[in-house]
Amino acid sequence: MSTPLIHIKDIGRKYVIGSEVIHALKSVSLDINKGEFVALMGPSGSGKSTLMNILGCLDTPSKGTYILNGINVSQMTDNQLADVRNKEIGFVFQTFNLLPRSTSLDNVALPLIYAGYKRKEREEKAQIALENVGLGNRVMHKPNELSGGQRQRVAVARALINNPSIILADEPTGNLDTKTSIEIMGLLEEIHSKGNTIILVTHEEDIAQHAHRIVRMRDGLIEKDYLNTDIKTVSPKLARLKEKGDDFENI
């Protein structure tokens, strides 16, 4: 049996607020293999955001073990975690998190600065990444010159630029309309089909149905972990029509 890409064992996370101790995660164990498409779901207070922060190396657990791609990241320092994030994780956020005064090219190339690439190579890689998400003609546009869907495509290109072990998408369609949400989910499906591992954090049932596996959380614990037998997919034809601005009725 192959070693899981992500292995967490008995992970807990508590926060002390004044005299109160809040156990955001109580005891969570989870394995995710390379190439999986997993949706992480749960109501407010379920612990899914805390688990997402730990999986993304944005926070460390109070107890337990987290092995990411063979690296024990459970007790790393902030600087060590920053290095792991840059090399191993690509983030796609609900609010895009793009630099407003920078072009699409510069936004996508940003992680390569921290990885030590020279400017010419950064720009070449960023150009290819933007072409791969259908924005080869928008490389010099700034975020305020792009639609919401285009901004999220820039964010996806940035997440992929370092060939990370996992793509962590936190409510990636939360600020998008229905049609654009379908377009972005089609893009994530395409990325997954190329062998990328995707962890999708969402509270929307229809968005979660695009994942191949669903992990539901409640009260700091995993309530249910199961394979999705009713997977939604976005056809390549729909994606092409969306890019041309055609109406779905033409499909």
Question: For residue 99, what pLDDT band results from cuts at 50, 70 and 90?
Answer: very high
Residue 250: pLDDT over 50: no
CATH number where 207 lies: 3.40.50.300
Residue 235: pLDDT over 80: no
Tokens of 35: 């190439």
Give a yes or no: residue 172 inside a domain. Answer: yes
Domain extent for 68: 6-250
pLDDT at 239: 52
Amino acid identity, residue 110? L
pLDDT at 222: 96
Residue 106: pLDDT over 90: yes
Q: 126 or 247: whose pLDDT is higher? A: 126
CB contact at 8 A, 209 and 231 = yes
pLDDT at 152: 92
Sign of the alpha-carbon dihedral angle for 236, 176, 145, 191: negative
Q: Which helix (H) or strand (E) holds 240?
A: helix 236-244
Q: At what angle do helices 178-193 and 236-244 cross, to 10 degrees?
A: 130
Q: How many domains does the chain have?
A: 1
| Cα gap 148→66, rounded to integer Å | 34
pLDDT tens, 207-218? 999 999 999 999
Work out the average pLDDT over 13-23.
92
Q: What percent of the chain has pLDDT over 70?
A: 93
CB contact at 8 A, 157 and 135 = yes
Give a yes or no: residue 209 inside a domain. Answer: yes
User: How much is the mean pLDDT over the chain?
Assistant: 89
Report how far apart, in Å, the C-alpha atoms of 147 and of each of 42, 44, 54, 179, 198 are: 29, 29, 31, 13, 24
CB contact at 8 A, 212 and 227 = yes
Tell me how far apart the terminal alpha carbons of the chain are, to the nearest angstrom: 43
> Which residues is 216 bridged to in the sheet?
41, 224
| DSSP H helices in 104-235 | 104-114, 119-132, 148-160, 178-193, 205-208
Residue 188: pLDDT over 80: yes
The C-alpha angle with vertex 180 and arms to 175 and 181, in degrees rounded to 5, equals: 65
pLDDT at 75: 83
Contacts 24+ apart (CB under 8 A), 132-140: 132/157, 132/160, 133/157, 133/187, 134/243, 135/104, 138/104, 139/103, 139/104, 139/105, 140/103, 140/104, 140/105
Give a yes or no: residue 149 inside a domain. Answer: yes
Residue 241: pLDDT over 60: no
Report how far apart, in Å, the C-alpha atoms of 3 and of each of 7, 11, 28, 64, 211 are: 9, 19, 19, 18, 21
Q: What percent of the chain has pLDDT over 90?
A: 71
Residue 248: pLDDT over 90: no
pLDDT tens, 163-177? 899 999 999 998 888
Question: For residue 249, what pLDDT band results from cuts at 50, 70 and 90?
Answer: very low
Give a yes or no: residue 66 inside a domain. Answer: yes
Please give the model's pTM, rounded to 2 decimal places. Answer: 0.88
pLDDT at 244: 52
Give a yes or no: residue 1 inside a domain. Answer: no
pLDDT at 2: 77
Q: 141 or 251: whose pLDDT is higher? A: 141
Give a yes or no: residue 244 inside a domain. Answer: yes
| Cα gap 77→62, rounded to integer Å | 13
Is 225 buried (19+), middle (13-18) or exposed (0-12) by CB count in 10 A? middle
pLDDT tens, 117-139? 999 999 999 999 999 998 999 99
Q: Which helix (H) or strand (E) holds 86?
A: helix 78-88
